[in-house]
């Protein structure tokens, strides 16, 4: 090893979902929304004055912050925005998890939590889910340097009811509790309802899933004035201009079209529930997902085998080769037509391998 290599930070990075290219690819591996953003987003993009791009964007992101504050009925100084929820969460890790006590998060959860903890030198403990992949709130009732968990959880899709979420926040008022709500729009009540009662609670959301804007990288957090002020202090110490001008404008436009937002969510939820029945009829088992994906396993065919067979067919799903998940596939909910292509292949493949009864 060269002398200068000794000072390089060694980390195990997060592995993002594959981004395949091709006309006949069916991409069900990264939980993107299969429908386009709200029509107003397209109009705003077409009418955008590209001459503005020569100037820096607004570091305070007022256009988007104001829209989000109005939409969620909170004060402007309780909203923080960033380049996707990953950026917001990374800022939160830097801002709030500076104790010698361990940060707590589920062992089967968003794998970026462990990456950030190790990157920033934060002690942590991955708390085991129970045998049915559920979070046990009582496991978090102990000394800690912070708590973070997704709700619904990923990749399980399981939802904690709002009473259980409040129970976890109430028992951890000496540390910051972050509820990562990337998928909350697809089912369940948001922890935003609890913000008036708990100053230590931060709720993080994204435009990447329900709002069909993963490519624009927009995320935000809502919390107490003190938490948001701390996030801004870290942001301005790191990068003042985190969000680009188009993202600010198009994100604000997306928030304005509530009818389209609800319609799109409704279609995904309807397809998800139909998909559960189809998976069940083919011999798959799965947690009862309340997100825009389903975590499935087949009793007779190994997940890795199915993953490889699907990929050869141009159908991409997510396979996690790690403890507790090695026999599961996470499958994003697409359109009805996309899901029909998936199920047609699965039916043929499972029949051919004697893993399902012929119709």
Task: Enter the CATH code of domain 3-36+259-352.
Answer: 3.90.1150.10
Query: Looking at residue 175, what is its pLDDT?
Result: 97
Indicate whether 35 pLDDT > 80: yes
Name which of 170, 172, 168, 164 is nearest 143 in CA terms: 172
User: Which residue's structure tokens are 């998890």?
Assistant: 97
Angle formed by the axes of helices 245-256 and 62-72, nearest 10°:
20
Task: Enter the CATH code of domain 39-257.
Answer: 3.40.640.10
Global pTM exceeds 0.85: yes
Asked if 240 and 213 touch (Cβ cutoff 8 Å), the reply is: no
Query: Looking at residue 358, what is its pLDDT?
Result: 47
Provide mean pLDDT across the span 31-48.
Answer: 96
What is the maximum alpha-carbon separation in the chain? 66
Each residue of 167-178: pLDDT tens digit?
999 999 999 999
DSSP class of residue 310 equals H
Each residue of 278-294: pLDDT tens digit?
999 999 999 999 999 99
Residue limits of CATH 3.90.1150.10 in the chain? 3-36+259-352
């Amino acid at each position: 090893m060269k002398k200068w290599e000794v000072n390089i930070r060694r980390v195990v990075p997060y592995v993002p979902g594959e981004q395949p290219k091709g006309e006949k690819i069916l991409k069900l591996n990264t939980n993107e929304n299969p429908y386009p953003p709200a029509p107003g987003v397209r109009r705003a993009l077409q009418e955008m004055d590209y001459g503005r791009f020569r100037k820096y964007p607004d570091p305070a992101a007022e256009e988007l912050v104001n829209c989000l504050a109005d939409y969620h009925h909170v004060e402007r100084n309780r909203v923080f925005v960033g380049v996707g929820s990953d950026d917001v969460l990374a800022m939160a890790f830097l801002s709030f998890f500076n104790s010698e006590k361990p940060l707590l998060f589920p062992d089967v959860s968003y794998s970026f939590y462990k990456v950030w903890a190790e990157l920033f030198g934060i002690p942590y403990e991955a708390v085991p889910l129970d045998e049915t992949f559920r979070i046990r709130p009582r496991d978090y009732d102990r000394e800690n340097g912070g708590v973070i968990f997704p709700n619904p959880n990923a990749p399980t899709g399981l939802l904690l009811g709002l009473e259980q979420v409040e129970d976890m926040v109430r028992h951890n008022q000496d540390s910051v509790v972050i509820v990562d709500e990337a998928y909350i729009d697809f089912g369940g009540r948001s922890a935003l309802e609890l913000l008036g009662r708990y100053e230590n609670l931060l709720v993080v959301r994204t435009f990447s899933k329900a709002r069909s804007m993963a490519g624009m990288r927009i995320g935000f957090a809502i919390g107490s004035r003190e938490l948001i002020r701390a996030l801004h202090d870290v942001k301005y110490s790191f990068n003042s201009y985190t969000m680009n001008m188009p993202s600010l404008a198009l994100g604000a436009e997306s928030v304005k079209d509530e009818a389209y937002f609800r319609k799109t969510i409704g279609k995904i939820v309807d397809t998800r529930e139909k998909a559960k029945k189809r998976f069940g009829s083919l011999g798959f088992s799965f947690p009862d997902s309340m997100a825009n994906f389903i975590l499935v396993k087949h009793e007779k065919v190994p997940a890795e085998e199915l993953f490889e067979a699907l990929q050869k067919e141009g159908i991409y799903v997510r396979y996690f080769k790690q403890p507790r998940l090695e026999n599961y596939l996470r499958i994003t909910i697409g359109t009805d037509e996309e899901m029909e292509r998936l199920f047609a292949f699965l039916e043929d493949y499972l029949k051919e391998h004697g893993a399902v009864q012929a119709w």
